[in-house]
Structure 1
């Protein structure tokens, strides 16, 4: 067993190496994040000083009607959603402010509860005839992409029977709280763009302000800044899989290129890939933050997100596996500098989590080394001056990162949640680290060509909706 002096030396050496790796990695990530912040701030300042001096910001109230109104198809893949799909459909049918839409719901033969909930809405709701139940021959879970492909086939069959062509396809999940005005926004803007993405605004699950609440912070930045910059610099717009409309011709082009089915049944993140493939084909995507009227709430999708550590890790593992790992293999590195930068950011999430892991490990080693030095009656660990300088710089960047996150949350959810955003960053980091390691292990253990499965989390629908 090493003596205290030898153990202290080993701790100090490990501390120096791991801390230096973490400090350099964190600095690179901080510079990348600050570049994103700077572009967003510059864009916001330019629009405030030029565009908004000549034109009032658009709202749903000032949005002109579509040139050629059309029927909109809403696709919902539903595996094991018997607890929420009925309430979601009723809310959508009661609130969507549009004259012409149909909802296609995909279910599975070994999930009778979900099919029964959809059939109940069809039979008992006054607008139940607008809902299409699309079963399948495969037991679930397959993948969400396989389910969406069945909905595409059903929609095509209906078009052939009725002679009517749908104008756009809207993607939603079974737990989504749809906004009444969203189809009006889609109907107008899909005439100019191939993909229209609305913001996603997570709701806090009762009793879980810290775990479910960390999604508020992440989406406030992602959908309040990052997607805006992505569009501004000309990178492809990834679909969030909910609150997203795809023009019917754009979806058909992708289907034709893939042998008739637009979604890749082997993909875990079919929505993300769909947006990038539209961009690769020359299609235009837009991210729309549109208030209903001056100063009022945004047209956005609201939903509960996972409320426990295990569920959050499972969900983010799927995201990381599909985007950061499988996405690298499936989509490669295409496009110009802006597109490659955005793909690097998407796929860097795994590496970022590993760097943060090293940072936390360095803190533990520093605490252990300091304690051991104190027990031995010697001064604390001697750190390299370069490492000390890097740590000071990173501390400054951390302060800026906290300020930006709190501000982005304040803009959407107000001061109460903004105050929670700082402490929740620790929770976000821990969940990200756990998901990154799980994604790496899962990816490494998956044999080439193995069938993907829909690893979904349990969903809830709000009892009351403000």
Structure 2
């Protein structure tokens, strides 16, 4: 009996070491990959600090003179679409635009809400098929309505802007788009989730996720020349480029696609055009021009949304996109699809820790086990890997907290650390189980039904009162200094403003030059205050309550 226990303890000890090695190697590989992105971003940040580069505030840009078309797909949005449209038309500081809202024939409440906003700039577009369909299908209907409006009104839109029914639009966004397009084929502004006081641990993790993604990851993608994916909102694309994507079929979006926004950026790059995430302050020293919106506040709705993202980007995207582009594009595609494996490595790491604890307990029961070699020798490669992973974990948590604090204030930054190990991680396993089942069932289908996001009506951040007319001398600059990682053509010249000196120097570019100081400042000094301080607390609380009630009702129906 004693011999059997010793044999069992020895076998468990060996197995524990092997599991620990596999977990440490897998996590270290993912850590090195993340470290590469961090180092690239750090080099960009240091370079910009050294050059003291500053971007032109959006308020100082020349006023727009080109037509803009805004697309808003809406299914079952009767409670939120009217406030969103009123907020949008009130806030936008731009003279020439039209808003096209896609609705469905079996959703009369949403259609009535759209028509209740009496504004000649708003046009409802009724889809031919009953809802819900995919968002891509609705956008195709809106696109055809945009083309028909051009012919009827004898105008031509310069760019197509995408928004959702819960978006809180920045007043300067169309002016930024007008100045950057067609120099860029696609312009993505940052998306900032709104704080939901009633769902700190579920909706709160979206704050952390978008703060780092739109503050670092997407910036690095553009800086190394990889395709920049669209976020689906706060995004504008050159009208002619979208027409090229539409081709002879007249449908720029595949109705079977679940993440049409992600693929849009890939299609733009495949045609040889550039897209970029742009961070530019609205006013000098002001907050970044961005779109604010609500995100799911309940566990089930968050899992459903994350499942759609993972399925569309990592699994379905693998089938649809493949490995197109150059080395930088393929590396970023690999990172996008790494999201399938990374949570499994995390779970495997937890399993390894549990087995180590069991091994320690067995060694206390079986005295002979105390004479076994230690699981981790002091100077072994495994010890080095474990130290690397531990240090990297602290670095990653600190980095996520710093980006979150820069956008939402230090309290949200501190909350980002436990959120990383609670809400976000707790939904990874169920969403991957859903992904596997959904992907397997979808392989033989042609059209996938859309998964609707249930949100509350927009609660806009207040705008500070700023005076000052646009500087006419900036008209020639075309806000070139607002693009992160811009790659001027050989021979182009860009004036670099030296902070605090008012002067500049002119230099030639044959290589990449990073031009947006506000991007490296992660939103500028004004953004280091709490975004939630700019939101009306009572209204936000009541709207969040409405949203949670809608989510609960939707989940019970499903």
Q: Please state which band the TM-score falls in when normalised by the shorter chain.
A: over 0.9
Which residue matches 1:404? 399
Following superposition, the deviation at residue 6 of structure 1 comes to: 6.6
Which residue matches 1:425? 420
Following superposition, the deviation at residue 9 of structure 1 comes to: 5.4
Which residue matches 2:465? none
Following superposition, the deviation at residue 363 of structure 1 comes to: 2.2
Q: Are 1:75 and 1:171, in contact at CA under 8 Å, matched by a contact in 2? A: yes
Following superposition, the deviation at residue 111 of structure 1 comes to: 1.8
Following superposition, the deviation at residue 33 of structure 1 comes to: 0.9
User: Could you tell which deviates more after superposition, 327-336 or 377-386?
Assistant: 377-386
Following superposition, the deviation at residue 137 of structure 1 comes to: 2.5
Q: Determine the C-alpha separation between the residues in 2 that align with 1:194 and 1:333.
A: 22
Q: Determine the C-alpha separation between the residues in 2 that align with 1:30 and 1:318.
A: 25
Structure 2 stretches lacking a partner, 5+ long: 462-534, 536-558
Q: Determine the C-alpha separation between the residues in 1 that align with 2:437 and 2:359.
A: 31
Report the structure number with the largest CA radius of gyration: 2
1:250 maps onto 2:241 in alignment: yes
Q: Determine the C-alpha separation between the residues in 1 that align with 2:166 and 2:9.
A: 53
Correspondent of 2:193 among 202, 207, 216: 202
How many equivalent residue pairs? 454
Correspondent of 2:309 among 315, 319, 328: 319
Q: Secondary structure at the match of 1:211?
A: coil
Structure 1 stretches lacking a partner, 5+ long: 123-127
1:354 maps onto 2:363 in alignment: no
Q: Secondary structure at the match of 1:129?
A: coil
> RMSD across aligned C-alpha pairs, in angstroms?
2.1
Q: Determine the C-alpha separation between the residues in 2 that align with 1:4 and 1:445.
A: 47
Q: Determine the C-alpha separation between the residues in 2 that align with 1:187 and 1:100.
A: 11
- 1:141-220 maps to which residues of 2 (within 5 A)? 141-220=132-211
Q: Determine the C-alpha separation between the residues in 2 that align with 1:372 and 1:87.
A: 63
Correspondent of 1:97 among 77, 93, 98: 93
Alignment TM-score, normalising by the size of structure 1: 0.92
Q: Are 1:208 and 1:307, in contact at CA under 8 Å, matched by a contact in 2? A: yes
Which residue matches 2:375? 383
1:309 maps onto 2:299 in alignment: yes
User: Could you tell which deviates more after superposition, 75-84 or 12-21?
Assistant: 12-21
User: Could you tell which deviates more after superposition, 9-18 or 429-438?
Assistant: 9-18
Following superposition, the deviation at residue 436 of structure 1 comes to: 2.6
1:279-308 superposed Cα distances (whole Å, 9 cap, x missing partner): 110111121111112321111011111112
Q: Determine the C-alpha separation between the residues in 1 that align with 2:160 and 2:235.
A: 8
Q: Are 1:72 and 1:168, in contact at CA under 8 Å, matched by a contact in 2? A: yes
Which residue matches 1:125? none
Alignment TM-score, normalising by the size of structure 2: 0.77
1:347-400 superposed Cα distances (whole Å, 9 cap, x missing partner): 111111211121122223233333444455665994254433321210011111
Correspondent of 2:106 among 101, 104, 110: 110
Which residue matches 1:395? 390
Following superposition, the deviation at residue 12 of structure 1 comes to: 4.1
Following superposition, the deviation at residue 10 of structure 1 comes to: 6.0
Which residue matches 2:329? 339
